[in-house]
Amino acid sequence: MSSLNALHELTIKLYDHLTLPLPTNDDERDQYIEKVDRYLERRELRLSSLHQVERNKETMIVAKEIMDMNNKIDMKLHEARSVIGRDLHRVRAQKQINDQYEGTTPSQQPMTSYYFDQKN
């Protein structure tokens, strides 16, 4: 199998994985992201080891498919990143609300002072 075909297969696997919906469960989401990361690392290795490829009709078709899928992969990654970013923003806002409610932030700590009354 040529390195271009191996790259093509990895690209298909990554694209297929990215077409799955982003899980809502934290553990499943972590596994989903780790799998995407592994696919990206493996693709990067394949790309770096890709040397001069014989230019014929078949390789040009495969290369065009890879490039088209790469554009779709970029869009899917951008969508996933924005969903994760919104979730992080929501969690941070909720944490800030909880901290304000509980008064656990340093600026929200009640001041404690003692007053000593002097009696004769």
Inter-residue contact 18 to 36 (CB < 8 Å): yes
SS3 assignment, position 103: coil
Which H helix or E strand runs over 63? helix 57-102
Give the DSSP letter of residue 56. Answer: -
Predicted confidence band of residue 74 (pLDDT cuts 50, 70, 90):
very high
Asked if residue 13 belongs to a domain, the reply is yes
Domain hosting 26: range is 3-105
Asked if residue 8 belongs to a domain, the reply is yes
pTM over 0.85: no
Asked if residue 110 belongs to a domain, the reply is no
Average pLDDT over residues 8-20: 94
Asked if residue 34 belongs to a domain, the reply is yes
Predicted confidence band of residue 103 (pLDDT cuts 50, 70, 90):
low
Number of domains into which the chain is organized: 1
pLDDT in tens, 43-57: 999 888 877 777 888
Asked if residue 114 belongs to a domain, the reply is no
Inter-residue contact 69 to 12 (CB < 8 Å): yes
Asked if residue 113 belongs to a domain, the reply is no
Asked if residue 59 belongs to a domain, the reply is yes
